[in-house]
Amino acid sequence: MAAAGGPAGGGDQAAAGGNRRLKYVSLAVLVVQNASLILSIRYVRTLPGEPFFATTAVVMAELLKGATCLLLIFLQQRGAVRQFALFLYEAVVLQYLDTLKLAVPSLIYTLQNNLQYVAISNLPAATFQVTYQLKILTTAVFSVLMLRKSLSRLQWLSLLLLFAGVAIVQVEQGQGGRAGSPGAAPQSYAVGLAAVVVSCLSSGFAGVYFEKILKGSSASIWLRNVQLGLFGTLLGLLGMWWAEGAGVAARGFFHGYSPLVWGVILNQAFGGLLVAVVVKYADNILKGFATSLSIVASTVASVYLFGFQPRLPFVLGAGLVIGAVYMYSLPKAGGPRRPPEEPAAPLPRGVEPADSGFLPKPACKEKGS
C-alpha cells in the first residue's frame, strides 16, 4: 500500500513545492519591479545636465508594450503571417466600434504615464511611493460607483488608514526641506503633489473602466493592450508635439537618452507583463505584501541613493499605508478565500486573467464584443 501511494504523494508534494517556489519568486519579481521603476525614474530625472524628454519615453514604452503583445498573439497564431494579419484586421479594423471603446482609457493612461514622470521628478522616491498608494482608494471608490462592488468593513477601515497615512506623510514632507541635487532641474513639491493626486484619480477611473470593458467582452487582454497601444502611441505623439514639440524638433527624439533611460523605458513597458506572471502564481494577499515591501525597499534605497532622511512622522505615515495596503488585500470576513489563481483586485493594465494562461485564447474567442 505504501509503495502504491508513494509515487503519487511524492509527485503532489513536488508540484506543491514548485508552485510555492514560483509564488515567492513572483513576489520577489514584483517587489523589485515596483521599487526599481520608481527609483530609476527618480535617479535619471535628477541627474545633472539636460534631461531626456519624458513624453518621448512614454511613446517608446507604448510602442514596446504593443510590440510585445503583438508577438504573443503572433505566437498564438503559430507564426502564420496571413492568419495573424487577418485576425488583427477583423478584430481591430472591422470591429472598429469595439476598438474605439479603448480610446478613453488609453487617453487616461497616456496622461497618467506623463504625470508619473512629473511627480517623480519633483518628489522624493519614497514620498511618491507612499502617496501613489492613494490609487487603491480611488480604485475602490470607482469600483463601488461604476461596478456596484461592495467593500467589507475591514476594507473601508483600511482605506481610512491609507488616507490618514498619506496625509501624515504629506504634512511632514511639506514642512521639511527638499533641495534638489546641484545642477539638476528645479523641483516643485506642489507640482509633484498635484501630479501624483491627478495620477491616482486617473489610475482609479481608467483601471475600473478597463475592467468593465474586459468583463463585457471575450477579447483577450493582449488584444486589448494592442488596441490600447494603438491609441496610446497616437495620443502620446500628440502630447509630445503639444508639450515638447519645439524641443524635440530642435534636439531630436532621443535627446538625453542613455542606457539608464532605456532601462527605465523597458522596465515601464514590460512591468505590466511581469505582473501577469505574478498574478498567475501569487494571490492578492501576497500582491499587497509585495507592494508594502516595495515601499520599504524604496525608502531604504532612497536613504543611500538620494540622501533621503525619513523622520518619525514619515515612518508613522508610511507604516499606516503599509498596514492599510495589507489589510485591504485580505479576504472578506465570512467569505471563501480566493484561490491563488484568481486575482481579487481590479486587473491593472497588462495583466492577463489567470484562468486563460499566459498566451492569448484561441482566435475564435479573441474577437471583441
> What's the rounded mean pLDDT across residues 81-102?
86
pLDDT at 310 over 70: yes
Q: How confident is the model at residue 250 (pLDDT cuts 50, 70, 90)?
A: very high
What is the Cα–Cα distance from 296 to 308, expressed in whole angstroms? Answer: 13
pLDDT at 26 over 90: no
What is the Cα–Cα distance from 332 to 153, expressed in whole angstroms? Answer: 9
What is the Cα–Cα distance from 56 to 225, expressed in whole angstroms? Answer: 19
Contact 130, 165 (CB under 8 A): yes
Q: In the chain, what percentage of residues exceed pLDDT 90? A: 10
Kindly report the number of other CB atoms within 10 A of residue 314's CB atom.
Answer: 24
**pLDDT, position 248:** 92
Residue 114, all three cell numbers: 506623463
CA-wise closest residue to 157 among 330, 359, 328: 328
Residue recorded with cell 510585445: 68
What is the Cα–Cα distance from 283 to 24, expressed in whole angstroms? Answer: 11
DSSP helix/strand/coil, 255: coil
> What's the rounded mean pLDDT across residues 351-356?
42
Residue 149, all three cell numbers: 462592488
pLDDT digits 0-9 by tens, 41-84: 888 888 887 889 989 999 998 899 889 889 988 998 888 888 89
pLDDT digits 0-9 by tens, 9-25: 555 565 555 566 766 77
pLDDT at 100 over 80: yes
> What's the rounded mean pLDDT across residues 174-178?
54
AA letter at 155: Q
Domain layout of the chain by residue ranges = 32-41+51-178+185-365
> What's the rounded mean pLDDT across residues 83-106?
86
pLDDT at 120 over 60: yes
**pLDDT, position 237:** 93
**pLDDT, position 122:** 86
pLDDT digits 0-9 by tens, 323-337: 888 888 777 655 544
> What's the rounded mean pLDDT across residues 272-301?
67
pLDDT digits 0-9 by tens, 233-245: 999 999 899 988 8
Average pLDDT, the chain: 76
Kindly report the number of other CB atoms within 10 A of residue 50's CB atom.
Answer: 11
pLDDT at 285 over 60: no
pLDDT at 7 over 70: no
pLDDT at 348 over 70: no
Running DSSP on this structure, what letter comes out for residue 351? P
**pLDDT, position 307:** 79
pLDDT at 350 over 90: no
Burial of 247 (0-12, 13-18, 19+ CB in 10 A): middle
pLDDT at 168 over 90: no
**pLDDT, position 268:** 84
What is the Cα–Cα distance from 34 to 299, expressed in whole angstroms? Answer: 12
**Is the pTM here over 0.75, yes or no?**
no
Q: How confident is the model at residue 186 (pLDDT cuts 50, 70, 90)?
A: low
Contact 124, 178 (CB under 8 A): yes
**pLDDT, position 327:** 83
Q: How confident is the model at residue 353 (pLDDT cuts 50, 70, 90)?
A: very low
Q: How confident is the model at residue 173 (pLDDT cuts 50, 70, 90)?
A: low
Long-range contacts of 309-317, Cβ-Cβ distance < 8 Å, separation of 24 or more: 310/126, 311/172, 311/176, 313/168, 313/169, 313/171, 313/172, 314/126, 314/127, 314/168, 314/169, 314/172, 314/173, 316/165, 316/168, 317/130, 317/164, 317/165, 317/166, 317/167, 317/168, 317/169, 317/172
Long-range contacts of 231-236, Cβ-Cβ distance < 8 Å, separation of 24 or more: 231/102, 231/103, 231/106, 231/107, 231/110, 232/62, 232/65, 232/66, 232/106, 232/109, 232/110, 233/59, 233/62, 233/63, 233/66, 235/106, 235/107, 235/110, 236/55, 236/58, 236/59, 236/62, 236/110, 236/113
What is the Cα–Cα distance from 27 to 24, expressed in whole angstroms? Answer: 5
Among 88-92, 295-299, 355-359, the minimum mean pLDDT is found in 355-359
